[in-house]
Amino acid sequence: MSTLDYLRSLRRLIYKQYMMVVVSKDIVKPASNQNMYSVFRYSSFSDEVKSIYSHQKRSFGSRKVRFERGLEFFVVKKKGRFVSYFWLVKPEKNRFIDECAINVQLTKDAVWLRDIYVAENERGKNHFGNILNQVIEKYYPHIEKIYSDFEVSNYPSFKAHEKYGFRSVGRLNSILLFKKILIRKIDKLEKMVITGYNQSKPIIVIDEEYKIYKEANLG
């Protein structure tokens, strides 16, 4: 291990900083494009779901529990080739943001986009907006708003969201010190119900009570 790699590893042990942008978009009935993609929707775990992650050389990890938390998994293909996968938090369910230990409760007319992944050879082809339009039209025609989030440093994600018409509705910032202390700053999110672990406190000690709370909500 080089000196630089060692210092980076040491820094991660001392602190981890997380800055996230929360964005939303009001849904206007999109132009019909139901035949553009083949969309596969999963509401429960299967080997096929896990294989999608493995095929793309990405870890499935603990995501199996997401189905129990009210998320659905989508796989998108075009002319037989893999294009994208992503998760959606269903209406009236919670988006748990573990980096800040908060839950954001969705209304009956909103969904939350999570972890959208587009194959490297498919990027830059306007798939992001077209896929969302098709999925919303087919599976969630009643919703009026879609939320999403991404890290501040993820510029490609920012540009994709911006192009589709998302706008910023808040920021979340946290620093984890020595894996023992969580310092957080949460901007007020527009007209959203937020609950969380010791919600009013900007500084949290990572103790057993916190770990139990996180485990019960993580998805």
> Has residue 171 been placed in a domain?
yes
Kindly indicate the confidence band of residue 54, based on its pLDDT and cuts at 50, 70 and 90. confident
Residues 179 and 205 sit within 8 Å (Cβ to Cβ): no
Q: Is 198 left (phi over 0), alpha (psi -120 to 50) or beta?
A: left
Kindly indicate the confidence band of residue 16, based on its pLDDT and cuts at 50, 70 and 90. confident
Query: Average pLDDT, stretch 9-18?
Result: 67
> Has residue 1 been placed in a domain?
no
> Has residue 2 been placed in a domain?
no
Residue written as tokens 């949290």? 204
Which has the minimum average pLDDT: 6-10, 41-45, 144-148, 211-215?
6-10
> Has residue 3 been placed in a domain?
no
Query: Average pLDDT, stretch 51-77?
Result: 80
Q: How high is the pLDDT of residue 7?
A: 52
Kindly indicate the confidence band of residue 149, based on its pLDDT and cuts at 50, 70 and 90. very high
3-state secondary structure of 156: helix
Residue 180 burial class via C-beta count within 10 angstroms: exposed 0-12, middle 13-18, buried 19 and up: exposed
> Has residue 56 been placed in a domain?
yes
Q: How high is the pLDDT of residue 48?
A: 80
Which has the higher per-residue pLDDT, 10 or 9?
A: 9
pLDDT of 6 over the 60 cut = no
Kindly indicate the confidence band of residue 200, based on its pLDDT and cuts at 50, 70 and 90. confident
Kindly indicate the confidence band of residue 13, based on its pLDDT and cuts at 50, 70 and 90. low
Q: How high is the pLDDT of residue 192?
A: 81
Range of the domain at 187: 8-217
Q: How high is the pLDDT of residue 174?
A: 93
Other Cβ atoms closer than 10 A to 172: 21
CATH number of the domain at 164, please. Answer: 3.40.630.30
> Has residue 175 been placed in a domain?
yes
Q: How many domains does the chain have?
A: 1
Q: How high is the pLDDT of residue 204?
A: 93
> Has residue 122 been placed in a domain?
yes
Q: Buried b vs exposed e over 118-143: b needs ≥16 C-beta within 10 Å?
A: beeeeeeeebbbbbbbbbbbeebeeb
pLDDT of 57 over the 70 cut = no
Residues 143 and 110 sit within 8 Å (Cβ to Cβ): yes
> Has residue 168 been placed in a domain?
yes
For helices 155-164 and 127-139, the axis angle rounded to 10 degrees is 50
Rg (CA), the chain: 18
Q: What is the pTM of this model?
A: 0.88
Q: How high is the pLDDT of residue 179?
A: 87
Q: How high is the pLDDT of residue 59?
A: 64
Contacts of 43 (CB under 8 A, 6+ apart): 67, 72, 73
pLDDT of 17 over the 90 cut = no
Q: How high is the pLDDT of residue 9?
A: 64
Q: How high is the pLDDT of residue 193?
A: 86
